[in-house]
């Protein structure tokens, strides 16, 4: 299932580019199909959901155990989890009778297992035609090199077989997936940032806490998203200007916008690209950025492997103040020096994470609580 899953928007774009340019499989008549599962977190009643997961584990386990845990134990734990999902609404407590909360990672796992057989029905036809295919949570994207009518007829047949899964279909030379507009222009792949026509323009996301800091991070993330989605440098600059106007309209100063955007280009050493529309330079920049993301994904996978084998050691500060970055560097140097040949604690076999346990503001550190004794 992992090979048929998009890790994130960057993974989707890279795989689509590989299909288009490396494998050269995109034809002028190729259609794109997007399937949106509308009841991803409410697929079925609890009993049927648990039975489906149990059958799946039994079919894919030789010893009736998963990591030394029996399937019966897993079933009992699932019942404990699913049947005790409560929520409060208007001062009344309710029980979730179908599905599970979308804020819990286990809910995604249960939905993925439940959709396994349904997805195989679609894959059977798609793989026979050697199409590009992938899913991210409740959305599926794949290519189609046959008629629109044939595909809709087949998907309707799938709907009739698995009527518990409700989905919407978009088929055409252009579709929306993640936040990207993906279009086949006579065999040439064209992508850009998608803007919903029904959403108000020039708005910023609602944030809680340090608004200026979070909007600063959002601007950087939005510019990176534009690099990811925009295949043409002109579209990237349009999106950049759109973001700049959004911040100005919402009350941020010109100095704030200019400094953040310029810092973005300075970070990637592309000072001159802000006012240039050189497609070659932009394409090279995108390629370097995708390569950087590949390295980050590799490091993230290595860290996860260390964590799975219990080789991640976490140290926590009590407070977050002082020359922390310098301390982190010196700590790692000393650790590497004294444990370089250790069979477990060497840097090649383990990972050291230094984080803060508590983050106190100056008010919390310096303020003194008033006495609760009333003054007569």
Asked if residue 318 belongs to a domain, the reply is yes
User: Are 226 and 81 part of one and the same domain?
Assistant: no
Q: Domain boundary at 285, 317, 338, which?
A: 285
Asked if residue 199 belongs to a domain, the reply is no
φ/ψ of residue 263, rounded to 5: -60, -35
User: Are 352 and 220 part of one and the same domain?
Assistant: no
User: Are 91 and 233 part of one and the same domain?
Assistant: no
d(C-alpha 261, C-alpha 15), whole Å: 29
User: Are 254 and 145 part of one and the same domain?
Assistant: no
Q: Which residue has the higher pLDDT, 317 or 371?
A: 317
Other residues' Cβ atoms within 10 Å of the Cβ of residue 260: 19
User: Are 19 and 50 part of one and the same domain?
Assistant: no
User: Are 74 and 189 part of one and the same domain?
Assistant: no
Asked if residue 294 belongs to a domain, the reply is no
User: Are 280 and 225 part of one and the same domain?
Assistant: yes
**Per this entry, what is the length of the chain?**
376
User: Are 23 and 136 part of one and the same domain?
Assistant: yes
Asked if residue 203 belongs to a domain, the reply is no
Which tokens in the block code for residue 101?
């909360």
Mean pLDDT of the chain: 87
CA 74, chain centre distance (Å) = 27
Q: Domain boundary at 141, 166, 193, which?
A: 193
Q: Domain boundary at 193, 226, 241, which?
A: 193
Q: How many domains, in total, are found in the chain?
A: 4
Is the pLDDT at 372 greater than 60, yes or no?
A: no
Judged by average pLDDT, the poorest of 121-135, 292-306, 351-365 is 351-365
Any idea what the Cα angle at residue 170 is, between residues 133 and 192, rounded to 5°? 75
Say which DSSP state 370 is in. Answer: P
User: Are 22 and 164 part of one and the same domain?
Assistant: yes
User: Are 60 and 31 part of one and the same domain?
Assistant: no
Burial-class residue 7 by CB neighbours within 10 Å (0-12, 13-18, 19+).
middle
User: Are 313 and 281 part of one and the same domain?
Assistant: no
pLDDT at 375: 42
pLDDT tens track for 17-41: 999 999 999 999 999 999 999 999 9
pLDDT at 249: 94
CATH of the domain at 25: 3.30.70
d(C-alpha 241, C-alpha 185), whole Å: 25
pLDDT tens track for 264-301: 999 888 877 888 889 999 999 999 889 888 888 888 88
Q: Please say whether the beta carbons of 9 and 225 come within 8 A.
A: yes
Burial-class residue 89 by CB neighbours within 10 Å (0-12, 13-18, 19+).
exposed
Asked if residue 64 belongs to a domain, the reply is yes
Asked if residue 204 belongs to a domain, the reply is no
Q: What is the residue-wise DSSP string for 58-75?
A: HHT-SSSEETTEEHHHHH
Residue 68 domain boundaries: 46-109
Q: Which residue has the higher pLDDT, 240 or 294?
A: 240
Asked if residue 6 belongs to a domain, the reply is yes
């Amino acid at each position: 299932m992992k090979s048929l899953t998009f890790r994130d928007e960057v993974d989707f774009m890279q795989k689509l580019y590989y299909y288009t340019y490396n494998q050269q499989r995109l034809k002028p008549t190729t259609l794109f199909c997007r399937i949106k599962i509308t009841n991803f977190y409410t697929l079925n009643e609890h009993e049927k959901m648990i039975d489906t997961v149990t059958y799946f584990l039994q079919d894919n386990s030789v010893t009736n155990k998963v990591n030394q845990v029996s399937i019966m134990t897993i079933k009992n734990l699932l019942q404990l989890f699913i049947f005790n999902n409560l929520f409060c609404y208007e001062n009344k407590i309710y029980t979730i009778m179908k599905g599970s909360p979308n804020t819990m990672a286990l809910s995604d796992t249960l939905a993925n297992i439940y959709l396994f057989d349904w997805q195989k029905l679609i894959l059977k036809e798609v793989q026979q035609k050697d199409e590009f295919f992938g899913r991210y949570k409740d959305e599926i994207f794949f290519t189609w090199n046959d008629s629109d009518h044939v595909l809709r007829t087949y998907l309707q047949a799938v709907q009739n077989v698995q009527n518990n899964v409700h989905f919407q279909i978009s088929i055409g030379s252009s579709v929306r997936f993640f936040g990207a507009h993906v279009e086949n222009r006579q065999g040439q792949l064209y992508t850009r940032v998608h803007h919903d026509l029904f959403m108000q323009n020039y708005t910023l996301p609602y944030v809680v806490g340090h608004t200026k800091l979070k909007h600063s991070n959002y601007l950087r993330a939005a510019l990176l998203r534009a690099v990811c989605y925009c295949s043409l440098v002109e579209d990237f600059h349009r999106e950049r200007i759109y973001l700049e106007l959004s911040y100005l309209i919402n009350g941020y100063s010109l100095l704030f916008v200019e400094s953040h955007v310029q810092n973005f280009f300075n970070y990637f050493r592309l000072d001159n690209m802000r006012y240039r529309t050189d497609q070659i330079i932009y394409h090279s920049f995108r390629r370097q950025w995708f390569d950087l993301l590949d390295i980050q994904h590799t490091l993230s996978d290595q860290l996860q492997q260390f964590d799975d084998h219990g080789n991640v050691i976490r140290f926590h500060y009590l407070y977050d103040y002082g020359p922390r970055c310098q301390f982190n560097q010196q700590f790692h140097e000393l650790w590497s020096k004294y444990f370089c040949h250790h069979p477990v604690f060497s840097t090649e076999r383990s990972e050291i994470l230094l984080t803060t346990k508590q983050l106190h503001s100056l008010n919390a550190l310096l303020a003194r609580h008033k006495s609760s004794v009333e003054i007569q």
